C-alpha cells in the first residue's frame, strides 16, 4: 500500500548542507517551495534512511529521509549570549536530495528568513505523514481495512492493511472536513472515508465502501461490493459484479454497472436520487415514498430487473401504470402513499408480507407475493407468478406463464396460451384457461382438495391440457375418469392417492391414428384398421412386438362441426425430412411425432424428443385438416410405450401415462384395465422418449427449425 499526501505550502527548501543546518545561527537560506507538491511513501511512516518521492508540479525527485528536526524560532539572535523572545516551535521531516535539502513542516514554520533559530535533528526518529490537508491512500492487492476517523489507536501495513485512529489533522481526516482520495486496489477492502468530499475506488475484490458525510465519488470496481454513500450528494458506481448499493441521504446519482445489483432505499431518504442499474438482473428494493421523499427516477437498464417493496403494509403496484417508455406515468398507489418515482426498464415486482396487489404489463414479468392475501396478475408476456404464503388469487393473462400458488387456499387462472400451474399446498382451484396447460402435482398432500379445470369448453379449438404426476411414485395413486361431456375428447374424474388425498379434475385429449395409416409389421405395411391383437409390429427400440389392444373412435360431420378441435392434423409426404412420411400421415392433434435434430439436442440435451402434432402446425406441409367431415381414430397399445413406423414416419403408440386413459371411451378403459390390472405400476407408464413439458420451449424449437430451414428428422 502507498500513501500520497498533498504538502503544498508546507515544503521548504534549504540551500545549505546538513552541518550548517544544525548550527545555531541566522538562517538566510530557507525558501518556501511553490507549486503542486506531494510526498509519496510506501506506508505513510518514514524511517531513517528510507527513500521516498517528492513531486513538484508533476516532476518526481528521489529523496532520502534523514530524520526529524525540531525548530525553535526567536525574534533576535544572540545578544550577550542570550537569544531573543521565543516565537514558536515546529517539527519537520528532513529530506536529502541530489539538489539539496527539503523540509516538510505540517504546521508551517513560525520563523522567517533572517531570524535566529535553534535546530536539533534526531536521525533515529520516524515521521508519520499525517497532514491536515486532503490525502490519498493507496491500498494493496491484499485485504485492506481503511477506516478514516479520529481517535486513539494504531496503523498497520502489509497485504492485510489497516488504517485507523489517526489524530486530528491527519491525511485520514477522520469524521472531519478533509477531502480524501482512497484507492483499495485488489483484495476485499473496507474503506470509510469520513466527512468531506471524498473519492473512493475499491478496485478489484469484494469491498465494503462508505463515503460517510460529504459529496463523495465512490467506485466499487470489479467484485461483489457493498457501497453506502452516506449523507451528501454522492456519485456511486458499482462497477462489475453483484453489488449492493445504498445512496443514503442527499441527491445521489447511482450507476449499478455490470452484474446483478441491488439498490436499497428505506423510504426515509430525503434526496431525489437518480438511479441507473444498467446491465444485469437487478433489484431495486424500495420503501414507501411521498412526493417529497424518495428517488426521482430509477432505471433498471438491461436484464430482467425487479422492484422489491420493502414494507409491511398493504402495497398495490401496477407496472402498467408506474412504468412507461418515457417514465411519465401517473402515480401508483403503494399502501397509503403514492409512488411518484419515474421508473424505466423494470419487468418484475417482489412484494412483502402485506396483502399485495401486483400487476404486470405486456413484458415477461415475474411477480412474487410473499406472505399475505395477494392478488397477482401477469398481463401479457410469458410471466412467472408466485403467490407465496396466504390465500392468493393469481391470473397469468396472455402468454405462456408459470404460476405457483404456494401455501394457502389459492385461486389460479392460467389465461391464454400454454401455462404450467402448480397450486402448492392447500385446497386450490386451478383453471388452465385456453392453451395447452400442464398442472403439476408435487405431492399427495399438495393435491388434497384441489380442483383442476383444464380448459374453456367446446368452443376452444386449441386447448389440450394434462396433469403431471411424474413427481410421485407410480403406484401411489389411482385415476378414476369418465367422459367430460362439456369438453369432447376430454375426461373428468378424480386422482385418488393411497394416503387418502383426492384431486378432482376435468379436461384431457386424444392420442391416436386415423384410418388408412400404414403400420410396418412382420407381414409388411398394414392399414391400422386391419391390425389385430397379436400382430407383430416393428418398433424402433425392441424390434417386433405384439399388439396387446386396439381401440377406435369414429367422429362424423356433426360432431366435428360442433367440436372443431377434434379435427385431425395432416403431415404431408416428406414434411418431416428425409422422405418421411412416405405419404400423407393423418393423426389426432395430441399424437406425438419423433423429432431428431441438432436443435433438439441443444435445447433439451437429448437428440430425440416426442412432440404433439398440433405443435408442429405452421411448418411447411403440416396443417389442421379444416375440411375434414369425418375421421376414425385408432389406438394401439403394447406392453410398454413404443416408437412405431406409420407411413414410414416414427410415431408413438398409445401412452398409458398418468392421464393416458383420457383418449378412449369408458368401455375401452374398462377393457384396458382388465387386460392390464397393474397398469398404474407398469413400465408402460414411462415415456419411451423425452416429452417436453413447456409449450414455450416447444414453440421455440419449431421456430428455430423453420428459421434455419432444418428438417425435423435427420
Long-range CB pairs of 242-248 (<8 Å, 24+ gap) are 242/280, 245/220, 247/271, 247/273, 247/275, 248/211
SS3 198: coil
DSSP string, 21-58: HTS-EE-TTEEEPPSSEEEEESSSEE-TT-EEEEEETT
CB neighbour list of residue 2: distance below 8 Å, 6 or more residues apart: 40, 41, 42, 43, 138
SS3 369: coil
Say if strands 297-299 and 411-413 run parallel, antiparallel, or are unpaired.
unpaired
pLDDT confidence of residue 471: 75
CB-based contact 635:550 (threshold 8 Å): yes
Walk along the chain (714 residues) in steps of 10 and give the mean pLDDT of each run. Answer: 72 74 54 84 84 89 90 61 67 88 79 59 82 48 47 36 35 49 80 84 88 89 89 88 84 82 63 70 60 61 69 55 47 47 72 80 84 87 91 93 94 91 95 86 94 67 67 73 67 87 79 77 88 93 91 80 86 91 90 93 92 92 89 87 93 72 57 57 67 84 91 88
Query: Which residue from 393, 399, 427, 384 is spatially nearest to 413, judged by alpha carbons?
Result: 393
C-alpha angle 44/46/48, rounded to 5°? 165
**CA separation for the pair 630, 568 (Å, rounded):** 10
Here the cell at position 595 is 423429432
**CA separation for the pair 642, 542 (Å, rounded):** 8
| Neighbouring C-beta atoms of residue 130, cutoff 10 Å | 20
| Neighbouring C-beta atoms of residue 630, cutoff 10 Å | 12
CA dist list (Å): 349 to 299, 494, 589, 599: 14, 36, 37, 34
pLDDT confidence of residue 609: 95
Query: Which residue from 625, 554, 612, 556 is spatially nearest to 584, judged by alpha carbons?
Result: 625
**Structural domains of the chain sorted by starting position, each given as residue range(s) with its CATH number in brackets:** 2-128 (no CATH), 134-162+172-236 (no CATH), 513-707 (2.170.16.10)
pLDDT confidence of residue 489: 56
Say if strands 181-183 and 162-163 run parallel, antiparallel, or are unpaired.
unpaired
pLDDT confidence of residue 470: 66
pLDDT confidence of residue 387: 93
CB-based contact 711:598 (threshold 8 Å): no
**CA separation for the pair 706, 92 (Å, rounded):** 81
C-alpha angle 533/535/537, rounded to 5°? 125
Going 565 to 412 to 660 to 572, the CA torsion angle's sign is: positive
Residues in the chain: 714
| Greatest distance between any 2 Cα atoms in the chain | 140
**CA separation for the pair 667, 233 (Å, rounded):** 78
**CA separation for the pair 492, 504 (Å, rounded):** 8
pLDDT confidence of residue 349: 79
The label of the residue with cell 399485495 reads 356
> Helix (H) and strand (E) counts for the chain?
8, 64
Amino acid at each position: 500500500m502507498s500513501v500520497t499526501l498533498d504538502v503544498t505550502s508546507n515544503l521548504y527548501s534549504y540551500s545549505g548542507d546538513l552541518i550548517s543546518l544544525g548550527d545555531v545561527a541566522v538562517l538566510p537560506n530557507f525558501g518556501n517551495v511553490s507549486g503542486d507538491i506531494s510526498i509519496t511513501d510506501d506506508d505513510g511512516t518514514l524511517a531513517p534512511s528510507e527513500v521516498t518521492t517528492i513531486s513538484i508540479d508533476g516532476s518526481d525527485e528521489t529523496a532520502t529521509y534523514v530524520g526529524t528536526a525540531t525548530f525553535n524560532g526567536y525574534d533576535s539572535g544572540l545578544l550577550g549570549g542570550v537569544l531573543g523572545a521565543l516565537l514558536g516551535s515546529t517539527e519537520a521531516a528532513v529530506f536529502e536530495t541530489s539538489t539539496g535539502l527539503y523540509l516538510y513542516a505540517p504546521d508551517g514554520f513560525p520563523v522567517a528568513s533572517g531570524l535566529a533559530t535553534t535546530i536539533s535533528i534526531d536521525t533515529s526518529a520516524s515521521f508519520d505523514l499525517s497532514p491536515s490537508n486532503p490525502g490519498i491512500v493507496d491500498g494493496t492487492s491484499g485485504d485492506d481495512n481503511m477506516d478514516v476517523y479520529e481517535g486513539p489507536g494504531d496503523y498497520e501495513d502489509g497485504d492485510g492493511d489497516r488504517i485507523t485512529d489517526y489524530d486530528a489533522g491527519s491525511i485520514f481526516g477522520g469524521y472531519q472536513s478533509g477531502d480524501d482520495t482512497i484507492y483499495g486496489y485488489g483484495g476485499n477492502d473496507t474503506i470509510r472515508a469520513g466527512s468531506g468530499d471524498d473519492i473512493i475506488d475499491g478496485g478489484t475484490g469484494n469491498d465494503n465502501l462508505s463515503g460517510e458525510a460529504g459529496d463523495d465519488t465512490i467506485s466499487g470496481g470489479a467484485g461483489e461490493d457493498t457501497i453506502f454513500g452516506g449523507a451528501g450528494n454522492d456519485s456511486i458506481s458499482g462497477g462489475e459484479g453483484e453489488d449492493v448499493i445504498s445512496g443514503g441521504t442527499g441527491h445521489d446519482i447511482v450507476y449499478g454497472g455490470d452484474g446483478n445489483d441491488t439498490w436499497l432505499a428505506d423510504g426515509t431518504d430525503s434526496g431525489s436520487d437518480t438511479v441507473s442499474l444498467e446491465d444485469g438482473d437487478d433489484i431495486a428494493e424500495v420503501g414507501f415514498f411521498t412526493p417529497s421523499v424518495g428517488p426521482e427516477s430509477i432505471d433498471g437498464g438491461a436484464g430482467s430487473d425487479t422492484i422489491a417493496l420493502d414494507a409491511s403494509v398493504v402495497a398495490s403496484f401496477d407496472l402498467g401504470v408506474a412504468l412507461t417508455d418515457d417514465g411519465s406515468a401517473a402515480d401508483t398507489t403503494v399502501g397509503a402513499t403514492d409512488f411518484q418515482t419515474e421508473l424505466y426498464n423494470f419487468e418484475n415486482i417482489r412484494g412483502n408480507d402485506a396483502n399485495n396487489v401486483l400487476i404486470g404489463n405486456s413484458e415477461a414479468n415475474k411477480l412474487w407475493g410473499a406472505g399475505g392475501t395477494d392478488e397477482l396478475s401477469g398481463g401479457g408476456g410469458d410471466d412467472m407468478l408466485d403467490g407465496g404464503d396466504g390465500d392468493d388469487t393469481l391470473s397469468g393473462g396472455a402468454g405462456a406463464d408459470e404460476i405457483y400458488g404456494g401455501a394457502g387456499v389459492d385461486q389460479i387462472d392460467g389465461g391464454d396460451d400454454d401455462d404450467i400451474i402448480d397450486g402448492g399446498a392447500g385446497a386450490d382451484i386451478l383453471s388452465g384457461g385456453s392453451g395447452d396447460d400442464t398442472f403439476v402435482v408435487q405431492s399427495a398432500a399438495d393435491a388434497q382438495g384441489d380442483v383442476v379445470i383444464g380448459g374453456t369448453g367446446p368452443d376452444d379449438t386449441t386447448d389440450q391440457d394434462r396433469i403431471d404426476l411424474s413427481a410421485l411414485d407410480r403406484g401411489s395413486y389411482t385415476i378414476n375418469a369418465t367422459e367430460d361431456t362439456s369438453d369432447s375428447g376430454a375426461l373428468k374424474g378424480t386422482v385418488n392417492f393411497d394416503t387418502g388425498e383426492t384431486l378432482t379434475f376435468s379436461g384431457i385429449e386424444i392420442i391416436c391414428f386415423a384410418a388408412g395409416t400404414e403400420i410396418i409389421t412382420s407381414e409388411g405395411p398394414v392399414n391400422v384398421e386391419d391390425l389385430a391383437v397379436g400382430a407383430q409390429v416393428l418398433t424402433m427400440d425392441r424390434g417386433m412386438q405384439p399388439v396387446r389392444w386396439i381401440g377406435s373412435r369414429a367422429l362424423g360431420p356433426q360432431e366435428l362441426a360442433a367440436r372443431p378441435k377434434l379435427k385431425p392434423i395432416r403431415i404431408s409426404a416428406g414434411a418431416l425430412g428425409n422422405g418421411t412420411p412416405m405419404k400423407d400421415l393423418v393423426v389426432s392433434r395430441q399424437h406425438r411425432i419423433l423429432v431428431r435434430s441438432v436443435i433438439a439436442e441443444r435445447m433439451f440435451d437429448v437428440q430425440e424428443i416426442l412432440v404433439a402434432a398440433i405443435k408442429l402446425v405452421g411448418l411447411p406441409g403440416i396443417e389442421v385438416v379444416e375440411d375434414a367431415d369425418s375421421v376414425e381414430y385408432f389406438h394401439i397399445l403394447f406392453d410398454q410405450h413404443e416408437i412405431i413406423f406409420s407411413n414410414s414416419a416414427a410415431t408413438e403408440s398409445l401412452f398409458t401415462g398418468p392421464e393416458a386413459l383420457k383418449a378412449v371411451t369408458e368401455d375401452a378403459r374398462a377393457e384396458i384395465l382388465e387386460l392390464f390390472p397393474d397398469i398404474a405400476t407398469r413400465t408402460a407408464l414411462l415415456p419411451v422418449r423425452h416429452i417436453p413439458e413447456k409449450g414455450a420451449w416447444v414453440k421455440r424449437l419449431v421456430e428455430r427449425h423453420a428459421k434455419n430451414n432444418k428438417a425435423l428428422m435427420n
